Structure formats: C-alpha cells, structure tokens
Structure 1
Amino acid sequence: MAGQRAPLLLLLVGLLPGLLLSEAAKIFTMTSLGGSHYLLMSQVSQVLQDHGHNVTMFYKKDDLYMSGFKEEEKSYNVITWFSPEDCDIEFKESAEFFIREGLEGRDSFENIVKIWKSLGLQCNHLLRNGIMDSLKSENFDLLVIEGFDFCGLLVAEKLGKPFVTTLPTTFGTLEFGLPSPISYVPVFHSLLTDHMDFWSRVKNFMTFIDFFMQQWRLHSVFDDIIKEHFQEGSRPVLSHLLKKAELWFVNSDFAFEFARPLFPNTVYIGGLMAKPSKPVPHEFETFIAKFGDSGFVLVVLGSVVDMFQSQEVLKEMNSAFARLPHGVIWKYDSSRWPKDIKLSANVKMVDWLPQKDLLAHPRIRLFITHGGMNSIMEAIRHGVPIVGLAILGDQPGNMVRVEAKKFGVSIRFQQVKAETLALTAKQVIEDKRYKSAAVAASIIMRSQPLTPTQRLVGWIDHVLQTGGAAHLKPRALQQPWYEQYLLDVFSFLLVVTLGSLWLCWKLLGMVVRWLCGSRKQKKA
C-alpha cells in the first residue's frame, strides 16, 4: 500500500506549486491598430480570460479596417479611447496613401514614416489623457502590448508595470536584440532565404545597414513625445524598452520560419487564432457540391486590400477564375464591385465567410491570399497550398518563405494578369508536390509538444509566478553594441599587437645600430 501511495504523493507535490500559484492575475492588453493586429490581440485577451485571468483590453475605437467583420461575443473587459478628429483624419489619410502606393508597387519607406508620425500624434494625445490616471489606479499585474506600435511601450513605462510583447508579423520588422547572423538570417525586405550565395550575402549586409537606419528614424519620431511626458534623467529609450519586455510572443511557427537563433524569452504562438473547425453554412456547402471532386478555391485578400483594389485588377482576377474548372469562393465587399464587370459563373462572392472552416473543408484545393501572417498560419494548419498575391509590408517576405518551403507560389499583386494567375493556380493544384509540402508543414505545426494556446498561457503564468523573466534574458540585452560584438576586445588586442610590433621594430633598430657601431669600431 505504501508503495502505491508514493507515486500519488509525488504527483501532488509536483502539482502543489501550480495549484498555489494559479491565482487569477489582472492583465492589461493593448493595441492601437485595427485589422489583423486587433484580431490577434483580441484572441490573446480571450485565451488569457478563458484560463482564469481577469483581462482588460484597451484599444482605440475606429472602423478597424475590417469590412464585413462579425464581432464575436467576448468575456474579457474592454476599454476604448478616442483620439481627436484631426489625428484620426491624418492617420487614415497617411494609411490610405501608403496602401494605394503599395498597390501601385511604390512601397516607400517615407510613407511608413508618415504613418508612424500619425501614430505618434495619437500617442501624444493618449498620454495627455486623463484615462492614464484611471489605468494606473487599476494596478494591473502584467501588461501585454503590441511591439509594432511604440506607444504601448511608453504606456507600459508610464504605468511602471512589467510587460510582455506580441509581434504580429514575422521576424525582422522590429529589432529587439535577437542574434541575427547576416550570413544566413535574411534581413527584413531583403526577400532572401537562408540559402545565400556571395552576392546574396552582400545584399543582405547592405539591407542590414539600411534597416538599422530606418529603425533609427522610426524611433526618432517619438523623441519629442518622450521629452514631453517623461522627466529629464528618467526618459526611456525606445530601443532599450524593446529589450525590456519579459517575453516576446511571435505570431509565427517553425513550419514557416527559417531556423535561426532564439532567446529563451522568445516564444512562437503562430496558429493561436485556430479554433476547432465546424461544418460550413448551408449556402457554402450547396455551392461547393456543384463542383464535385473538382473542389473549390478560396480567395481572401485581406480587409485592407478589399477596400482599395483597382477595377483593372478585379477584371483580371475575375477572368482568371473563369478559366478554372473549380468553384471559387471570393471574399469581397459586393457594394464595391464594379457594375460593368460580370461575375464569372463559377464564382461565389460574399462579404463575409468562415475562413477557418472553409480551409478545413475536405474539398478545398487552393488558398489565394495576400500573404498576411494570420492567413498563412491558418493555411499551414490545414495543409492547404497557397498562391500569394503579395502587396506590401511583410507580405512579400512571407511569400518568400512560402516558396522556400515549397507549399506555394507568389505573384506580385501589381503583376496580376488573368492568364498568369490561372496558370499558376492550376500548377499549384495539379502538382501534388505543393499539397505534400503543405501537409508536411501542417504536421510540423500540429505535432509540437505544446499548442500555441498552451505556450501563451504557460509562459504568461511562468512570468507571473516568478516575478519576471530576468532568468530568460541574456546579458547581451544590457550590453552596449561594441561589447556585444567584442569591438572593445578587438581594439585592445589590435593596440597591443601594433604596440608590440612597434616595440620590437624599435628594439630591432637599436640592435642593428649597435651591431653596425661595433663593426665600425673593430675596423677602426
């Protein structure tokens, strides 16, 4: 009997710390951006709420850039704030200009700077707002912010609370201290893979220099805001705040990313948006059944693209779909559809669709996407091959990874022609190697020891229970750049070496002169 009790006692002892430390925490989540940024942070908030924490989500109320979006009921608390009308107008104008320029193939960094300046104005208003005092009085235990908008970092610093950060895009969009060997880690916007020849490494190095100049410019946008809202002597530096985060949750996965060095406080949560699939609504099932074993193609290009697509591109896409023997389910705002374009007979256009459920449908053959991270993660999870119409931001780089992993093909949005799109779609559907690679990626994602939800909740609880994650962050995050790269050591060794060579040269000269002098004396 005693032998049977021992394992039970050991189990209870092992569970006891978790039981004692499982008290609900007050967690504050924040995002200032709409679209996929909002959706990810909303899911983070809901997951933490479902696992026993008291979550309050704080976000800026706007149209969220999601046409046809159906908001699900949430159990977490919500606090919204409004920026002045002139700030909203400036942000929307700069964002829309950036999108339109991107659709025309002019993805300029100057346009990004304009958006960051608009975000800075909004942040300045928020930090002046009396709502900050209200937030401080809540005495939250932990903050979960989005690293993409630097305002969250300043809010966390104002509240004086530990924070963790989410990265809704792939690596490289932000510099937060990860080791990134340029020889095999592609720099953001380099459009390279981890297999680089000599000239690719030259390009990667030059892109690396340009990237750091861009980061410096984006950080400098917030310099005046920091001076206004923080006292001299205690003013934070954005690059330091990025490294101050207890954890970084990255919306990606090993099935998608190139293998690279990670710190212990860097955790993949790609696939967090996934939910158990349900049968698709009757209207979709009826449409899919018309095409039998030919199946269907799902087309979702993101809410932002839906709002700004040109009539010429719509015409080319519609013509391409007419050439396919499959059904096509296309998410597009029908009120924006040009009246002079007749929709192809095999196309069903809807303002809203259950994307997750359609991707899980056994008769899906292809997913045509803009290359957003959430959509790619869902496609990988269900083993669906991809044709990507990349436009701007991280999307071209995402599609480079999709092509490198061999489960999809990319076409630049600006180059979409009916014949090219139709031939590419047929190629990806008919060549079973794409499907096989997509299934292999799905296995990598699904077979990991912990689910994205378990990783998120487990690491949040770990930080709460241990009072922070200092034990997960290497000393490198606190070292100046010249120490990290041993430039001080190399400089010292160079001085010692040159000094030694100089001294040896002088001693050798003295010896030579002495020998020459001795010979002259003997001859005399």
Structure 2
Amino acid sequence: MPEGREGLILILLLVLSIQPLEGAKILTICLVGGSHYLLMDDISRIFQDNGHDVRMFHQIGNGSLPGYKLPSTPYPVSTYSLDEKYLKEYDEFFMEYQKDFFMGKVGIQPFFSLMNIFANQCQASMNQTDILDFLKQEKYDIAIIDAFNPCTFFVSEKLGIPYIAVFPGIFANSLSIGLPNSPAYLPAFASQFTDRMNFLQRVQNTLMYIGSYVVEGKIQAIFDSISERHFPDGFRPSLRDLYQKAELWIYNVDFSIEFARPLLPHVQCFSGLRAKPANQVSQDVEDFIAESGDSGFIVVTMGSMISTIPIMDLVKEMNLAFANILQKVIWRYNASHWQEDLKLAPNVRLMDWVNQNDLLGHPKIRLLVTHGGMNSLNEAVYHGVPVLGIPLFGDQFDNLVRIKAKLMGEYIPPLEIKSKSFADLIRKIVENKSYKTSAMKQSVIMRSRPFPPDRQLLGWVEHIIQSGGGGHLRPYSYQLPWYQYWLLDVISFISICVAGIVYLIVKVIRGLIYLMFSNRKQKQS
C-alpha cells in the first residue's frame, strides 16, 4: 500500500475517533451578584441547553438586583446566603462609596476595601463544608468561574476541579496573567488613555504600569490568609499561582470596543453573550414609545445594582434636562424613592427594571445613557446605538474612553452635569448622524465575527475538556523564575562578558602605552 494512502487512512481514522463532546459535567461559580450573575447565568444556560450537565455554585446576598425578579433556571443551583454580619458589611461599603462615586471621588481605596470584603466573605464560602463536599463528590469535568472575585479561584482549587476563568471586562489584570504589555500603545488600567498617546502620556502610562505591580501585590496579599487557613502546609497557592493555573481565560470584550493588542493562545475574547436580537417590548411600553413619533426615545440606566441616584441635585438636573429634549425617556429608577416635591418631566417614564437589550433593539431607540458597564456597552454596540456615558467607578472610565475613541459616543463626569449642557450633549449625539454611523460600523464588526460568541464559548470549553486541559496553550514563561523571565541572568552574563572584554582591552592598551613610553625613555637616555 502506498505510503501516502496509509497516512490518509490514519488521518481519517483519527478524525473519526474524535466524537462530539456530549454530557460533560460543568460547575459554574458566581460569588457576586448584579451583572456578574446575569453573565454567569447566560453562560450556564448555554451549556445546559447544549446537552451538558450544569450546576451553579452561587453566593446570594451581596450585589442583588433591585427591581429584578430572578427567573427559574433550567439547571440546579447550590446556594448559600451570607450571614447578617457580612451582608451588613457589604451594604455599608456600597452605600458609603456610592455617594462618593456620584460626587466624583474616585480612587484606589474603594477597590481595596471591596477586595477586603471579598476576602472576608471568602472565609465564609470556604467554610461551606457540606456544599463543598457535595460538589467535590460530583467530580465535575471543568469549572467556569467569575474571575472578578478572586475567591472563585480558591474554591475551584479546594474542589480539585480544573477551571476556566471568565473576566467580565477589559484587560484590567493583564499583568497578573502574563499578557504581553507595552506602555507605548497599551493604556494601563484606570489611565483613561487611548492607544494613541503623546510623549507625556506615555511617561505617565509607564509609571502607572509600574504602579500596577504594587497594586496587584497588595490584592494578592489580601487573599494570602485564605491560602494559609484552608490549604495544607507545602501546598498554599498564591493568587498569582491560581491565575496562571487557569486552563483558559475568557474576556467579555470585543475588539469593536477594545483597542487591538497581542494575546496568548489561552486567552480568548468573545463578548456579547447578553446581546441578542430584540424581543417585543410589553404593550404599555410600546404605547409610551409610540407617543414619541419620529423623535424616538432614549434609555437611561446606571447599572444593575444602582436603582436610584443618591444626589438629589443631580437627579433634578437630569430631570430638567430630559424635560427639554424631544425624545421620550425610559429611566430605570425606583419610583418609590422619587422625591415627592420633584415633578417628573412629562416625557419621562420611571421603571424599576428594564429589559435593556430589547429596548436597544427597538427601531425608535436614539441613545443609551449609561454608567459604562461592559454588558451595557456590548448591547449598545450590537444594536448600533450611540452612547452617552456617566462613569462612576471601576473600569467604566476606561470603557467609555474606548467608546469615545470609536466615535460612537461621549461621556461626562456626574459632577459636571447641568441641565442645559446635559440636554445640549444629548441633542448633539442624537442629531449628529456621525455617532449613529460609527455605532453601526462597530455593530457590523461585532455581528460579522466568524462565529457567534455562544458557539465560540462552547467550542473552546469543549476543546479544553476533550484535550485534557489547556496546558498546550499556556506559555512556558509561567514556569520561569522572575529573573529568567526578565532575562536578568542573560543581561548579567552579557554585561560581565562585555565588562571583561573592555577590561582586557584597557589593560592591553595601557600595557602598550607603558611599553611605548618605556622605549622612548630608554632611547632618550
């Protein structure tokens, strides 16, 4: 039999031996509420609907969704509730800083405070021995975890399950997982720079990159106590170790929004899991929208966990601005908290909860006014809707810088909102068709990807399960000591060699010079 034919038969047999993956056991872990839960719920449903056996481990109590009634899930959920102490701690944190966010008081301290709360809550999560023992006995093939809360890594490690990390936003933790980073064109997290920086911005960006290592070190130190208390001597993983142990990293971003950058093979980006073709809105909402005529309507939401605005002066300015535009306004705002002596603008409708995706897919939508969360921006891009951002905290500033850089919107800090200028900015974005054109361009980029995000997610996770992990995708750099990674040993060796050569050259030259002068003196004598 010819050698080529034998090779062809072997390849055919190999292809036939690789059967589609069916019925894998998958554990999803979500220890944060709000939009994080909504994203992990979507992921869980995708795998459940495609023949896999899914269970979610869900910590309930913090980050609940005001005005939103959780639907029943097609997959089982193992839940536990935080005790009153931790719930009170979280609520006090959120209420303390929420007003500061609207007052423009943004810094790194709130993030450290949040990580400390997560670390305290993680002790409670790791103490759920009955649930953890049950989950461990189930022997899951893979865990898919919300990587925003570092505790999910420790839970997965405690269960002994290989895991895939889903990060809900931009590459804020790129240094921790060893992504290639260049301060020349990749803006550091919280820098609010684009990928096109001038000299002074590149200087500042470089310094912020250096500072990011310090910040990351403090965050990892916060969780050292988890490793010390819940893992035996000799096997106490650091948070960095667990980051690099992930079989796959999935970022909820799309390059229709994010700036182009190099990635590693085990890092994948596919956002828009929550963005999908719109369903019909309810009849009462449709009747309200119909009253707008050709002017259309705008949607105002400030995030899944913020149902009211704690600064009444800001509420009054926004309400007055809405009263002076032609569009109808659907404003997600808890009506029971509306100030009685403040007359609601006649073109505004308050709703405790909105199905944002369906509203953004409505033909009469003109603008999304948003805090700048990634899920909201993905939906806006998917439906080609211009954006007016009011950033409050976290990645929202950087997210909205990207929206502005893509020419599909503007943003304004909450303290700068005055009724006239705010109304003028709304009219500018709605009436200047370039914003809509840019939004539609980004929508085409997102929608025309070779594979939809749910198929990408399925394909990659099934690939990791079938191939026995993602070791073939992770770079060897993860195993290198820091001094080898930064080539300090090579640099030291080359420096010593160069110094030695220079030393020898100098010695030879000095010797020759000495001989020349010695011969001259002898001749003169």
- Residue aligning to 2:209: 208
Gaps of 5+ in 1: 1-8
Deviation at 1:511, TM superposition (A): 1.9
Give the secondary-structure state (helix, strand or coil) at the position aligned to 1:303: coil
- Residue aligning to 1:319: 320
Distance 1:305 1:187 in 2: 27
Amino acid at match of 1:329: I
Deviation at 1:487, TM superposition (A): 2.7
- Residue aligning to 2:394: 393
- Residue aligning to 1:303: 304
- Residue aligning to 2:185: 184
The answer to whether the aligner puts 1:71 opposite 2:73 as a matched pair is: no
Deviation at 1:238, TM superposition (A): 0.9
Q: 1:299 to 1:13 in 2, by over 3 A?
A: farther
Q: 1:126 to 1:384 in 2, by over 3 A?
A: same
Distance 2:16 2:280 in 1: 41
**What's the CA shift string for 1:76-120, capped at 9, x where partnerless?**
110001233212222222233232322221122222212211111
- Residue aligning to 1:56: 55
TM-score using structure 2 length: 0.94
Deviation at 1:211, TM superposition (A): 1.6
The answer to whether the aligner puts 1:345 opposite 2:364 as a matched pair is: no
Identity score, percent? 40
Contact 2:32 2:62 in 1 (8 A): no
Give the secondary-structure state (helix, strand or coil) at the position aligned to 2:331: strand
Give the secondary-structure state (helix, strand or coil) at the position aligned to 2:178: coil
- Residue aligning to 1:442: 443
Q: How many residues align?
A: 515
Q: Which moved more, 1:225-234 or 1:393-402?
A: 225-234
Amino acid at match of 1:42: D
Q: Which moved more, 1:354-363 or 1:505-514?
A: 505-514
Amino acid at match of 1:144: I
Deviation at 1:507, TM superposition (A): 1.8
Matches within 5 A, 1:150-161: 150-161=150-161
Deviation at 1:144, TM superposition (A): 0.8
Distance 1:293 1:11 in 2: 61
Give the secondary-structure state (helix, strand or coil) at the position aligned to 1:306: coil
Give the secondary-structure state (helix, strand or coil) at the position aligned to 1:470: coil
Deviation at 1:523, TM superposition (A): 3.0
Contact 1:91 1:119 in 2 (8 A): no
Amino acid at match of 2:514: R
Q: 1:467 to 1:96 in 2, by over 3 A?
A: same
Give the secondary-structure state (helix, strand or coil) at the position aligned to 1:123: helix
Q: Which moved more, 1:226-235 or 1:426-435?
A: 226-235
Question: How large is the Cα RMSD of the aligned pairs?
Answer: 1.9
Give the secondary-structure state (helix, strand or coil) at the position aligned to 1:69: coil
Deviation at 1:491, TM superposition (A): 2.2
Give the secondary-structure state (helix, strand or coil) at the position aligned to 2:353: coil
Q: 1:15 to 1:434 in 2, by over 3 A?
A: farther
Distance 1:405 1:298 in 2: 21
The answer to whether the aligner puts 1:139 opposite 2:135 as a matched pair is: no
The answer to whether the aligner puts 1:86 opposite 2:81 as a matched pair is: no
**What's the CA shift string for 1:46-99, capped at 9, x where partnerless?**
111111111110111116431111322311110001233212222222233232
- Residue aligning to 1:168: 168
- Residue aligning to 1:6: none
Amino acid at match of 1:106: K
Distance 1:363 1:44 in 2: 30
Matches within 5 A, 1:455-494: 455-494=456-495
The answer to whether the aligner puts 1:511 opposite 2:512 as a matched pair is: yes
- Residue aligning to 2:222: 221
Gaps of 5+ in 2: 1-8
**What's the CA shift string for 1:214-249, capped at 9, x where partnerless?**
111111011122111112221111112111111111
Deviation at 1:479, TM superposition (A): 2.3
Deviation at 1:10, TM superposition (A): 13
Distance 1:145 1:101 in 2: 30
Amino acid at match of 2:56: M
Contact 1:31 1:37 in 2 (8 A): yes
Q: 1:112 to 1:294 in 2, by over 3 A?
A: same
**What's the CA shift string for 1:23-42, capped at 9, x where partnerless?**
21111111111111111111
Matches within 5 A, 1:366-405: 366-405=367-406
Contact 2:320 2:419 in 1 (8 A): yes
**What's the CA shift string for 1:141-181, capped at 9, x where partnerless?**
10111211111111111122211000011112453211111
- Residue aligning to 1:27: 26
Contact 2:59 2:79 in 1 (8 A): yes
Contact 1:173 1:394 in 2 (8 A): no
Contact 2:184 2:202 in 1 (8 A): yes
The answer to whether the aligner puts 1:100 opposite 2:99 as a matched pair is: yes
Distance 2:478 2:444 in 1: 34
Amino acid at match of 1:186: P
Distance 1:88 1:368 in 2: 30
Distance 1:10 1:403 in 2: 54
Amino acid at match of 1:157: E
Distance 1:118 1:352 in 2: 27
- Residue aligning to 2:113: 114
**What's the CA shift string for 1:342-394, capped at 9, x where partnerless?**
11111111112221111111111111111011000000000000001111111
Amino acid at match of 1:460: V
The answer to whether the aligner puts 1:36 opposite 2:35 as a matched pair is: yes
Distance 1:70 1:275 in 2: 20
